[in-house]
């Protein structure tokens, strides 16, 4: 469990604990859009092409999942180039399955959380700030690990 | 966002406790974890599964399949396999480095050892014995197959992906949520195509482009297309679905008069009002087609790729008819299933294709697998899905046409296309 100021609660799509710098971005498909080698966004149409998701708390509204997004997410987690957590504004069972598998096979956790609109808004205000995500059983808690977030509504 | 309260029955609990073996327990742990995320209140029985996890993207794919095999896993329901990265029947055709080819082949073989049928096709619904009936629950992965199962067969599946597919197959269970239930299958959006000309409605080239438009407009919502001719050929419905699932997260659509839950518009809407009615004009379709094409219509043509999703027996016969005994001047690849070729063994179809210089690819697909004499330059296709993905996957330029136009172009060695009905 991380300590810090709670900024949001959400619905657990995949359980686990993770922390990292919030990376707020547009939807990216792991299949075809992210390099499993280094976590770098390779989708030529993406505004953050060239940036890496590795070690970040990846914040995007939807997962844009192809059927194979599970495999590519899990492969990034296996090689250590995956995100520390993923925060979404809608459910994505394909990404969730990738996280569940990485945990089963390698004990690597990447919690995936679905947030409501207000919570998602609060989290996007933390772009670039360190966040902690604790997702266990039926509740996920997102915390700001320092005070850089703009938490004013 | 409240937590779902998933209730397992005694058989589920027994699987979870390992009473059916460790592989079944692993499958059930995975199904339960994902079902909770879906807010399912229970699981339900499935009658079949289609697995996409047999295509190799990295070591994790093989590790997951091998874990089930090591634990003594076996599928509990009839299970088909999607394409892999290799054409196992024509080993020289796919040009992969050995360090990728070896695990990619082992992955395909491991799923067969788990009891799956070595169909290696993205279109299992074209194989006799692999078509779920109306109202049957299945767990299918591969986006075009999911759309076809829901829309054309009236079977019920969510958009499942790699890894979750085998978990459902070894347990025979899936979360009772989403498109397994009746209400979520209701159309939210109406695409009204009544403004299109009879000539356009009669042309094959319309359907993949209409699918792209549908995918862009509907996103993950169920849409109904109103105004198409009734009783559309399955190949046309297949083309709509494959394009729609490429351009959007579409899992199901209705076509009034053609798909089984849309005898009427009101049926597709389940008696409710739609969120939106979108009229489709020839101009919209032309724009959608043009967005799909990266090559100039007068570009020199380097190759033709058709059969994405895998060509049906009818489509292979149409290619042979369009060839009309002539030889192609540029490379032509046709993807199909080994099961489709086996079904045509008594005919001269495969021989006629090869005699004409056409390369038949099975078990994989030219939009994802590196094929010898690598596809490059400007390539013509009749597939909305191929056109959507190939420029990024393969670095080719794409031009779009009907199946017959693709074959006529291959014979002529240049783009031959009739643009009149787009007017």
Residue with tokens 């027994």: B14
One-character DSSP codes across A35-61: -TTT-BB--TT-TTTT-B-TTSEEE-S
Give pLDDT tens digits for B339-395: 999 999 999 999 999 999 999 999 999 988 777 666 789 999 999 999 988 888 888
Query: Is B26 in Cβ contact with A74 (below 8 Å)?
Result: no
What mean pLDDT, rounded, does chain A reach? 92
In the predicted model, is pLDDT for residue B334 greater than 80? Answer: yes
Helix, strand, coil percentages for chain A (3-state, nearest 5): 25, 30, 45
A32 CB near a chain B CB, below 8 Å?
A: yes
- pLDDT computed for residue B1 by the predictor: 42
Poorest-pLDDT segment among A29-38, B109-118, B164-173, B289-298:
B289-298
pTM, 2 dp: 0.95
Q: To the nearest whole angstrom, how far is the Cα of A78 from the nearest Cα of chain B? A: 7
A66 in catalytic set: yes
Give pLDDT tens digits for B188-213: 999 999 999 999 999 999 999 999 99
In the predicted model, is pLDDT for residue B92 greater than 90? Answer: no
In the predicted model, is pLDDT for residue A18 greater than 80? Answer: yes
Position B420 confidence tier, pLDDT thresholds 50, 70, 90? confident
- pLDDT computed for residue A148 by the predictor: 62
Closest CA to B341 of B321, B317, B324: B317
Closest CA to B343 of B90, B123, B48: B123
- pLDDT computed for residue B3 by the predictor: 45
Average pLDDT over residues A124-140: 94
Position B2 confidence tier, pLDDT thresholds 50, 70, 90? very low
Average pLDDT over residues B259-284: 97
B110 CB near a chain A CB, below 8 Å?
A: no
Give pLDDT tens digits for A105-117: 999 999 999 999 9
Residue with the larger pLDDT of the pair A65 and B291: B291
- Residue A113's DSSP bridge partners are A12, A87
In the predicted model, is pLDDT for residue A82 greater than 90? Answer: yes
ipTM confidence: 0.94
Beta strand B276-279 with B189-192 is parallel
- pLDDT computed for residue B418 by the predictor: 84
- Residue A20's DSSP bridge partners are A131
Residue of A nearest to B177 (CA): A93
Query: Is B37 in Cβ contact with A11 (below 8 Å)?
Result: yes
- pLDDT computed for residue B142 by the predictor: 94
DSSP label at B124? G
Give pLDDT tens digits for B38-88: 999 999 999 999 999 999 999 999 999 999 999 999 999 999 999 999 999
Query: Is the CB of residue A81 less than 8 Å from the CB of residue A39?
Result: yes
Q: Which of B30, B41, B68, B162 to mutate to test binding with chain A, by most A CBs within 10 Å of its CB? A: B162
Quick one: what percent of chain B has pLDDT higher than 90? 87
Residue of B nearest to A44 (CA): B392
Give B408's Cβ-side CA count (13 Å radius). 10
What mean pLDDT, rounded, does chain B reach? 95
Four-point Cα dihedral B3, B183, B162, A32, nearest 10: -100
In the predicted model, is pLDDT for residue B238 greater than 50? Answer: yes
Query: Is A78 in Cβ contact with B60 (below 8 Å)?
Result: yes
Beta strand A16-24 with A130-136 is antiparallel
**Cβ neighbours of residue A140 closer than 8 Å, sequence gap 6 or more:** A9, A10, A11, A12, A111, A113, A133, A134
| Catalytic entry in A19, A66, A67, A68 | A66
Query: Is the CB of residue A57 less than 8 Å from the CB of residue B149?
Result: no
Strand runs (DSSP E) across B46-205, as ranges?
Answer: 49-51, 79-81, 139-140, 173-175, 189-192
Position B89 confidence tier, pLDDT thresholds 50, 70, 90? very high
Residue B226's SS3 state is strand
Quick one: what percent of chain B has pLDDT higher than 70? 98
In this structure, how many other beta carbons lie within 10 angstroms of the beta carbon of residue A153? 7
Q: What is the Cα B176 distance to its own chain's centre?
A: 23
In the predicted model, is pLDDT for residue A153 greater than 60? Answer: no
- pLDDT computed for residue B232 by the predictor: 98
């Amino acid at each position: 469990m991380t300590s810090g100021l709670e900024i949001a609660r959400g619905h657990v799509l995949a359980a686990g604990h993770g922390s990292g710098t919030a990376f707020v971005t547009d939807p990216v498909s792991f299949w075809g859009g992210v390099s499993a080698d280094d976590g770098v966004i390779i989708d030529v149409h993406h505004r953050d092409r060239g940036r890496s998701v590795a070690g970040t708390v990846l914040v995007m509204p939807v997962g844009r999942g192809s059927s194979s997004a599970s495999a590519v997410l899990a492969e990034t987690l296996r090689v250590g180039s995956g995100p520390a957590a993923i925060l979404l504004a809608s459910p994505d069972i394909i990404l969730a399955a990738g996280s569940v598998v990485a945990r089963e096979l390698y004990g690597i956790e990447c919690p995936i959380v679905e947030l409501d609109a207000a919570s998602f808004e609060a989290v996007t205000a933390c772009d670039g700030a360190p966040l902690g995500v604790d997702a266990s059983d039926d509740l996920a808690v997102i915390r700001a690990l320092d005070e850089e977030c703009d938490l004013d509504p | 966002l409240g937590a779902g309260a998933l209730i397992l029955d005694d058989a589920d609990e027994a699987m979870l406790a390992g009473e059916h073996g460790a592989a079944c327990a692993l499958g059930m742990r995975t199904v339960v974890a994902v079902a909770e995320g879906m807010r399912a209140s229970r699981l339900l029985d499935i009658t079949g599964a289609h697995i996409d996890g047999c295509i190799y993207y990295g070591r994790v794919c093989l590790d997951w399949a091998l874990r089930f095999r090591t634990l003594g896993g076996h599928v509990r329901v009839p299970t088909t396999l999607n394409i892999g990265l290799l054409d196992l029947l024509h080993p020289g055709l796919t040009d992969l480095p050995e360090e990728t080819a070896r695990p990619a082949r082992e992955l395909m073989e491991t799923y067969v050892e788990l009891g799956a049928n070595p169909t290696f096709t993205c279109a299992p619904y074209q194989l006799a014995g692999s078509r779920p009936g109306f109202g049957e629950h299945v767990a299918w992965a591969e986006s075009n197959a999911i759309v076809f199962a829901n829309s054309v067969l009236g079977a019920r599946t969510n958009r499942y992906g790699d890894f979750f597919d085998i978990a459902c197959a070894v347990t025979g269970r899936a979360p009772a949520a989403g498109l397994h239930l009746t209400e979520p299958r209701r159309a939210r959006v109406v695409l009204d195509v009544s403004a299109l000309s009879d000539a356009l409605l009669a042309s094959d080239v319309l359907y993949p482009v209409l699918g792209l438009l549908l995918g862009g407009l509907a996103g993950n919502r169920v849409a109904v297309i109103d105004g198409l001719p009734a009783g559309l050929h399955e190949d046309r419905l297949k083309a709509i679905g494959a394009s729609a699932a490429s351009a959007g997260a579409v899992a199901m659509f209705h076509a009034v008069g053609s798909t089984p839950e849309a005898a009427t518009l009101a049926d597709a809407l389940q008696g409710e009002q739609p969120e939106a009615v979108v009229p489709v004009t020839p101009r919209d379709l032309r724009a959608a087609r043009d967005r799909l094409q990266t090559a100039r219509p007068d570009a020199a043509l380097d190759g033709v790729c058709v059969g994405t999703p895998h060509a049906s027996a009818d489509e292979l016969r149409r290619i042979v008819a369009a060839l009309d005994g002539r030889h192609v001047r540029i490379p032509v690849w046709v993807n199909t299933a080994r099961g489709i070729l086996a079904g045509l063994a008594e005919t001269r179809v495969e021989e006629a294709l090869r005699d004409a210089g056409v390369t038949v690819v099975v078990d994989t697909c030219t939009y994802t697998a590196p094929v010898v004499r690598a596809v490059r330059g400007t390539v013509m296709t009749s597939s909305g899905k191929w056109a959507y993905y190939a420029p990024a996957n393969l670095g080719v330029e794409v031009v779009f046409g009907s199946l017959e136009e693709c074959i006529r172009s291959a014979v002529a060695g240049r783009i031959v296309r009739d643009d009149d009905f787009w007017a």
